[in-house]
Structure 1
Amino acid sequence: MGIGMGNLKAMFLALIALIALNQGLVNANFYKNTVFNWGSKQSSISGNGEDLQLVLDPVTGSGIASKRQFLFGSIEMLIKLVPGNSAGTVTAYYMSSTGSKHDEIDFEFLGNISGQPYIIHTNVYTSGNGSREQQFYVWFDPTADFHNYTIHWNPSQIVWFIDGLPIRVFTNYESMGILYPNQQGMRVYSSLWNADSWATRGGLVKIDWGSAPFIARLGRFRPRACKWSGPSSITQCASNSIANWWTSPIYSKLSYSQMGQMKWVRDNYMIYDYCTDFKRFNWNMPPECSKQTF
């Protein structure tokens, strides 16, 4: 006995609903799904919750945090960075758990004096340990328009994307005894703050407060990710199911064309890689460095 068209349609809609539920807050916005964790008085949300303005002035910076925690998925944000003389400022966009043994995945945008490029600083922490920095210039003016910055995180790898181009991969090498962030849910954070003690030329260039207030604009917050509800979520969010699209084999590694795109970015715009900083580690390099393709 065949399945009628009505039943097929109902099954299809139910499947779509299940996928949407497990993907997380696909239709998220800043009003509904984030809170200001500091600096709320000078910052604002507008555009039916789709647009966020973070402000840094001589008194304080500002920041938001997602109400929910996530484990695996894809977190997208459109960001238009502070224009003009942004030296000493940092616009941060990252995921993090809490506590001294926290996990964290970072995008940080280090400001510069007018006419000089921003530096995009990336890092990953596992169980409280970072020291895995990679830095890049960008191939466009990140202050002139919005660009898409995406953190894609699954049981196999973390990929940092800019406008769909992968710039970095951190692969799960737990089989080699290398820690990987897969045991703790993380919130999504974004902030604009005073980091002139280190951000621009190691702290040599300070913030020009005469140019304040500094404003970073964000939009289209899209966490298509698995909702964390405690340790029981580890198995649920990592399972190979239709709903957990991020565990599909297609997302377990970059495609050949994506590898080529990443190589182009890294060959032309990478300015620091911890895996080549032999002096810093006294030639005792982190073990994952021997496995890196780039």
Structure 2
Amino acid sequence: MALIWQNNLLLVLLSLFCMAMVVSSHDRHYTTPNVTRLTDYFSHVSVNQAFSNFFGGKNIQVISNGSMARLALDKSSGSGFLSKNKYYYGFFSAAIKLPAGFSSGVVVAFYLSNSDTYPHHHDEIDIELLGHDKRDDWVLQTNIYANGSVSTGREEKFYFWFDPTQQHHYYSIIWNSHHIVFLVDNIPVREFPNRGAFSSAYPSRPMSLYVTIWDGSQWATHGGKYPVNYKYAPFIASFADMEVGGCTYTNNNNNNHTVQAVSSCSKSGISSLDPIDGQDFASLSKQQALAMDWARRKLMFYSYCKDTSRYKVMPPECK
């Protein structure tokens, strides 16, 4: 009897140990680094004034006089909007609250793209928030395509240090002639410099900003293992504090012939400088570099530069 009791106790302890090991990242306690709040440098834009409907109009709800929007995914459609302007470079940010509950296969995306202008060889800078199954957290995926390299993604994936479904958190992109930086709550998680081997894969043509929610069942959760379960629909993502600052691009057309391409840079950045030229946007400060190192050591779990099964010959910047 004593042996049976001991065996049962051992099984209980083993189960508790396994449960403790399978813990979501937002249940772990992190002391986050202090960083400059770049999101404080820009004014919020109205969704109605800065964006147009992209698709799924009935699933788009703009509220609070245009300061917030809700995008829904249901069995009939996802939804999204896109910026009315195209941009050469800039700072792009949104406070996003993700759908709670079972959300496998759901993708919430905040990204820059020119696929409408270059459908077969476009550029793209992605923040993709990938839904989870019952065992895993939401995942942040960053990706970059450039100069038609649409078959060669440069993905890196991260867990969060918070629950992204409980409140709004900032997701931001810096894109200028110096580098691309992805930030979460103003903490840089990835930098893609425009120099050396990186330059051949660096987006440099005007892009629009897109905000979407859609069904990524074929790939989003464990490579498509867990598709969207519409029993839990609608899946609703909330967006607030939209920020768009940078150089805008305008095509002046006359009888369908492009006469002139005009860039117009806002002057709302620090010290009346354009955001792409401001000191805080040209390079990472020592504080930001340390914060990025923290994020990558603690939270990154996939980088294309370490995926030898996918890349027999590594992209040049990985070397």
Q: For the superposition of Structure 1 and Structure 2, which TM-score range results when normalised by the shorter chain?
A: 0.7 to 0.9
- The answer to whether the Cα contact below 8 Å between 1:178 and 1:288 also exists between their aligned partners in 2 is no
**1:145 and 2:167 aligned:** yes
Checking the alignment, whether the CA contact within 8 Å between 2:246 and 2:275 is kept in structure 1 is: no
CA contact 2:91–2:275 (8 Å) conserved in 1: no
Are residues 156 and 233 of structure 1, via their aligned partners in 2, closer, same or farther at CA, if it must alter by over 3 Å? farther
Which shifted more, 141-150 or 107-116?
Answer: 107-116
CA contact (8 A) 2:60 2:79 kept: yes
Structure-to-structure mapping, 1:171-250, within 5 angstroms = 171-173=193-195, 178-182=200-204, 184-230=205-251, 232-233=261-262, 243-250=273-280
Match of 1:259 among 268, 289, 308: 289
Residue 176 to residue 186, structure 1, CA distance change in 2 (3 Å)? closer
Q: Match for residue 23 of structure 2?
A: none
Q: Which amino acid aligns with 1:178?
A: S
Instruction: Report the AA paired with residue 86 of structure 2.
Output: Q
TM (norm. structure 1) is 0.83
**What is the identity, as a one-letter code, of the residue corresponding to 1:118?**
W
Q: How far 1:271 moved relative to its partner?
A: 1.0
Which residue pairs with 1:6 in the alignment? none
Alignment deviations for residues 225-280 of structure 1 (CA, whole Å, 9 cap, x no partner):
1111258557979xxx9642322344222111111111111111101101111221
Gaps spanning 5+ residues in structure 2: where? 1-41, 252-259
Q: Mark the CA change 1:33 to 1:169 in structure 2 (over 3 Å): closer, same or farther.
A: same
Checking the alignment, whether the CA contact within 8 Å between 1:178 and 1:287 is kept in structure 2 is no
Q: Judge which range, 151-160 or 271-280, deviates more.
A: 271-280
Which SS does the other structure have where 2:223 is aligned? helix
* Unpaired runs of at least 5, structure 1: 1-24
In the other structure, the counterpart of 1:269 is 299
Mapped contact 1:94–1:107 kept (Cα < 8 A): yes
| Matched ranges for 1:1-294 at <5 A | 26-98=43-115, 99=118, 100-114=120-134, 116-129=136-149, 130-173=152-195, 178-182=200-204, 184-230=205-251, 232-233=261-262, 243-282=273-312, 284-290=313-319
Q: State the secondary structure of the residue aligned to 1:245.
A: coil
8 Å contact kept, 1:173–1:288: no
| Whole-Å separation in 2 of the counterparts to 1:175 and 1:278 | 19
Report the residue type matching 1:147 in the other structure: H
The TM-score with structure 2 as length reference comes to: 0.77
Change (3 A) 1:177 1:108: closer
Q: Pairwise CA RMSD of aligned residues? A: 2.1
Change (3 A) 1:81 1:179: same
Residues 259 and 188 of structure 1: CA distance in aligned 2, closer, same or farther (over 3 Å): same
Paired residues in the alignment total 261
Q: Give the greater-gyration-radius structure (CA).
A: 2
Tell me the percent identity.
34
